[in-house]
Structure 1
Amino acid sequence: MNAPTLPPAAPRRPAEPLWLEWLTLCGGLAFCTWLLGVRGVWALLLGADPTGLTLIIIAVFLCSTLWCGQRSRELQRQRLLLAQPLQARIGERNWAADYEAALRCDAGTAADLLLELSHGPHGTAWWVNGIQLKLGLLGKVIGFSMLALTIGRMQSFDPAQSQELLRSLTAGLGVALLTTMVGLVGNILLGLQLTRLDRFADALVADIQRTALPLVQGEPWRPSARPAGADPV
């Protein structure tokens, strides 16, 4: 009986400039940050939020963006290592070598190992991305609570105190709206970066598995492992 034949390996796609894409995004964000500072938007945001939630959201977004830069650099490094000949990769610590070593022992474990290396850290990053949105909603709740407490303390309407009353009411409303807006913007921008990292990691996993197909002897070819949580076809 003839051994099952493996499908021919598809030509390797050229390495995408993921690191340069992140640097371009950071350049755009830096320009927007400078422009908002010149317009006085940052002073308005930080001064109108006595709770400090706006500053916390900005700090979370900044740290997460720096992590995305480090992750994009690592993913591109692994992609460049895969594109090199096998002799040039000897002695290098790379995911393809770990996958090929595990594949000789257990194909199922090798797939799990590769998915953990390529996508594992992204789960925590997506959780942090959701934290930004939740902090914005928390600021909204606090702002409306301040607004409700101010109205609840009103015994009677005194026209002489209307200016002070309006200032107290707008303070709570400003906290509610500004923190929600900052949380939404941070969630969108970080989600854009994480989605790009996930797609690049998906392509990298497919290329690594395609490269290692000749190591599977006596077994029919199987498609790449489906990421956890995906619906079966």
Structure 2
Amino acid sequence: MARGLSARALPVEPLWFEWAALVGAFAFSAWLLGVRGVWALLLRSDPTGITLVILVVFVVATLWSGSRSRELTRQRRALEQAAAGGSAAMLRDESWAAEYWAALAASPRDAGAPLDLLLERTHGPHSTAWWVNGIQLKLGLLGKVIGFSILALQIGEMQNFDASQSQDLLRSLTTGLGVALLTTMVGLVGNILLGLQLTRLDRFADELVAQAQRHGLRLVPVSTGSQG
């Protein structure tokens, strides 16, 4: 019956290919915005450079998400192959599931410590990535504060109002307002798009842990029995 369950193991979701397709959509959108002159407008309208920092953080975090999705897919595929074969020995030494099952076999009465190790491998780096995702939003809010501060300083420097200088005055006032709005918008968009990738990674990692526990209940008793 256990062999029958392993034979019906679900296929591994193509997480890395999903990420590649998403990045392809990002690249096309970035190219289209560049053709329309949006990037030049954003960078030119933000003298503080916060918009550029947010974009760099987003690109680096997106590339990390791709590397992470590839590693999670590799770990899940190795787990499914071992589960289909019905033996934990089929896993390579660098497999997280192999370490989890070996720890269970060494101390079958204490399943908490091996599970904590597995969770650290599958979910640990994501906490830092979520922190980086929040940085984008905080940088956008920082740009908003700086922009309104510039706007307030420019208004405070006004001593009299001359109708002939209204155009120059309006241009100087909109500089601070543009910084406030553009940095906030870029931070929000980056936070949403990176959060979408990290949410998918977390969901895939949850499924990886669930599969390792499910197959571990079947494989570990066999391995411990053979050792006895």
TM-score (norm 2): 0.88
- Give 1:224's aligned residue: none
Whole-angstrom distance in 2 between the partners of 1:185 and 1:91: 40
Query: What 5-or-longer segments of structure 2 have no aligned partner?
Result: 223-228
Partner of 2:47: helix, strand, or coil? Answer: coil
- The residue identity in structure 2 corresponding to 1:192 is L
Aligned length: 211
Q: Is the 8 A contact 1:99 1:113 kept in 2?
A: yes
Asked if 1:55 corresponds to 2:59, the answer is no
Asked if 1:25 corresponds to 2:22, the answer is yes
Deviation of residue 102 (structure 1)? 1.1
- The residue identity in structure 2 corresponding to 1:138 is L
Q: Is the 8 A contact 2:78 2:91 kept in 1?
A: no
- The residue identity in structure 2 corresponding to 1:75 is L
- Give 1:123's aligned residue: 127
- The residue identity in structure 2 corresponding to 1:96 is A
Deviation of residue 87 (structure 1)? 7.2
Whole-angstrom distance in 1 between the partners of 2:214 and 2:199: 23
Aligned-pair RMSD on alpha carbons? 1.8
- The residue identity in structure 2 corresponding to 1:49 is D
Asked if 1:165 corresponds to 2:174, the answer is no
Deviation of residue 103 (structure 1)? 1.0
Q: How does 1:35-114 map to 2 (within 5 A)?
A: 35-84=32-81, 85=85, 86=87, 89-104=90-105, 105=107, 106-114=110-118
Asked if 1:208 corresponds to 2:209, the answer is no
Summarize the Cα distance change of 1:87–1:120 in structure 2 as closer, same or farther, 3 Å threshold: closer
Whole-angstrom distance in 2 between the partners of 1:202 and 1:91: 21
Asked if 1:150 corresponds to 2:154, the answer is yes
Asked if 1:193 corresponds to 2:197, the answer is yes
Q: Is the 8 A contact 1:12 1:83 kept in 2?
A: yes
Deviation of residue 80 (structure 1)? 0.7
- Give 2:141's aligned residue: 137
Deviation of residue 71 (structure 1)? 0.3
Q: Among the aligned pairs, what percent are the same residue?
A: 68
Find runs of 4+ consecutive structure 1 residues off by over 6 angstroms. Answer: none
Deviation of residue 177 (structure 1)? 0.4
Q: What do the CA deviations read for 1:126-175 (whole angstroms, capped 9, x no partner)?
A: 00000000000000000000000000000010112211111110000000
Deviation of residue 83 (structure 1)? 1.4
Q: Is the 8 A contact 1:96 1:208 kept in 2?
A: yes
Whole-angstrom distance in 1 between the partners of 2:185 and 2:191: 10
Summarize the Cα distance change of 1:197–1:90 in structure 2 as closer, same or farther, 3 Å threshold: closer
Partner of 2:78: helix, strand, or coil? Answer: helix
Query: What 5-or-longer segments of structure 1 have no aligned partner?
Result: 1-5, 218-233
Q: What do the CA deviations read for 1:190-221 (whole angstroms, capped 9, x no partner)?
A: 0000000000000110000001003259xxxx
Partner of 2:151: helix, strand, or coil? Answer: helix
Q: How does 1:10-21 map to 2 (within 5 A)?
A: 11-21=8-18
Whole-angstrom distance in 2 between the partners of 1:71 and 1:20: 12
